[in-house]
Structure 1
Amino acid sequence: MNWLSAPVLSGTRVTLRPLELSDAAALATAVDAPEKFRWTTVPADEQDARDYIQTALDTPDRVAFAVVDSVTDRIVGSTSFYDVSPTNRALAVGYTWYSASVQGTTVNPDAKLLLLRHAFEELGAVRVVWHTDERNAQSRAGIAKLGATFEGLLRKHKPLAGGEWRTTAQFAMTDDDWPAARAKLLQRLS
């Protein structure tokens, strides 16, 4: 199986499909509360969305998805696999954000179930990693709720706009953790 292809993944609440340049307007519209995205880069307008998508498509170890709400058939965010390493059977899940209109719904658990099922069961991953700004309490809590283990802080891990450096909180889940995490996600969706 090709680790760097973006399949269509369909769940109960969302469909994840390859992100395309033609999604720029819908992606920009999905940013319905820009003040909520303090710790995440989201597109400011349609041209910025086009640039965001092009960057994702041009990154060789990234597989970007549009998150489509099955209820409204609208794009409500984006997520990606990145740092994809078939040799190490590992990848990261990130660049994830959702429209404020679907935060707190089953969109995130359904999307994560699809991504993790694909990673562990289709690709044969042994390790999935998440990174978030150490100050992003909402993201850290959400990642931990998935069943990922906090592994520590990566100091001065990534540059931020304005010259500041981000300290990254790193979490991971292994194939050994996956059965229990899958059960918890299925319970959250039922």
Structure 2
Amino acid sequence: MIPDVALAPEPEWFQTPTLRGQHIFLEGLTGAHAADLCAGANEETVRLLARGGPSNATPDAWAEYIARLNALPHRINFAVRLTGSGVTVGRISYSEMKWADRWTEIGTMLLPAAQGRAVNPEAKLLLMVRAFEVLGANRVHFKVDSRNTRSLRAMHKLGAAQEGTLRQYQVLPDGFARDSVVFSVLRDEWPAVKAGLQARLTSLS
């Protein structure tokens, strides 16, 4: 059962506490994480990012990209770091938050070395626990580029409901008008989704 959680005050929604799991921990994304992201990224890492990626493959460009993300309104960005080594292997974000309507959107970018491991399910688990069980959200949703087959598979594994496709929803920096596939999890669906994420983490541990 999900706890009966009241809606947290609006300022609390926009805080960036450190969230700790078994394999990773999340902390507020800053320019200090740029070097790790630059070192581990490849062209595929940034090709489908909705907000575009860094202007070039240098730590300074990654730091500028992080500053640009952090300047966006209604958005909170976390660095994904490995427990033990502390290496940054991606970022996960509340990419849009609507306090009055009690929903948030989650977006994820993971480096190749972190894919297919426990990193993705644990990062989503940490942010969704916070959304539903701390902030009092009624809904968490995801918008996935229709070309991103890896992320689409991840959404189906998550157990999120596929709501439909927003056609030519967003024009990317290269001028391409992408279709975004929308998935969501509602508050009363969260216990089953949470149990599935926890089972996946157990199998990957």
TM-score (norm: length of structure 2): 0.87
Question: Which residue is 2:77 aligned to?
Answer: 64
- Does 43-52 or 105-114 show the bigger shift? 43-52
Residue aligned with 2:13, SS:
coil
Question: Which residue is 2:35 aligned to?
Answer: 25
Residue aligned with 2:150, SS:
helix
Question: Which residue is 1:9 aligned to?
Answer: 19
Provide the C-alpha distance between the structure 2 equivalents of 1:71 and 1:106, rounded to a whole number of angstroms.
15
Question: Which residue is 1:181 aligned to?
Answer: 193
Question: Which residue is 1:34 aligned to?
Answer: 43
Question: Which residue is 2:118 aligned to?
Answer: 106
Q: Deviations over 1:126-151 (max 9, x none)?
A: 00010111111111110121111111
- Does 176-185 or 159-168 show the bigger shift? 159-168
**Structure 2, unaligned runs of 5 or more:** 1-7
Q: Deviations over 1:104-161 (max 9, x none)?
A: 1101111111011000000011000101111111111101211111111111211123
Provide the C-alpha distance between the structure 1 equivalents of 2:85 and 2:114, rounded to a whole number of angstroms.
11
Post-superposition shift, 1:103?
0.8
Aligned in 2, Cα 1:14/1:42: closer, same or farther, shift over 3 Å?
Answer: farther
Question: Aligned AA for 2:86?
Answer: D
User: Conserved in 2, the CA contact under 8 Å of 1:125 and 1:175?
Assistant: yes
Q: Percent identity?
A: 36
Question: Aligned AA for 2:192?
Answer: A
Residue of structure 2 aligned with 1:97, choices 91, 99, 109? 109
**Structure 1, unaligned runs of 5 or more:** none
Provide the C-alpha distance between the structure 2 equivalents of 1:37 and 1:103, rounded to a whole number of angstroms.
14
Q: Deviations over 1:14-50 (max 9, x none)?
A: 100000122222221231x333543234443212211
User: Conserved in 1, the CA contact under 8 Å of 2:45 and 2:110?
Assistant: no
Question: Which residue is 2:5 aligned to?
Answer: none
User: Conserved in 1, the CA contact under 8 Å of 2:37 and 2:111?
Assistant: no
Count of matched residue positions in the alignment of Structure 1 and Structure 2:
188
Provide the C-alpha distance between the structure 1 equivalents of 2:21 and 2:183, rounded to a whole number of angstroms.
24
Residue aligned with 1:88, SS:
coil
Residue aligned with 1:177, SS:
helix
Structure 1 runs of 4+ aligned residues shifted over 6 Å read none
- Does 51-60 or 117-126 show the bigger shift? 51-60
Structural RMSD (CA): 1.4
Provide the C-alpha distance between the structure 1 equivalents of 2:153 and 2:118, rounded to a whole number of angstroms.
16
User: Conserved in 1, the CA contact under 8 Å of 2:14 and 2:76?
Assistant: yes
Residue of structure 2 aligned with 1:78, choices 72, 91, 106? 91
Question: Which residue is 1:163 aligned to?
Answer: 175
Question: Aligned AA for 1:142?
Answer: A
Post-superposition shift, 1:180?
0.2
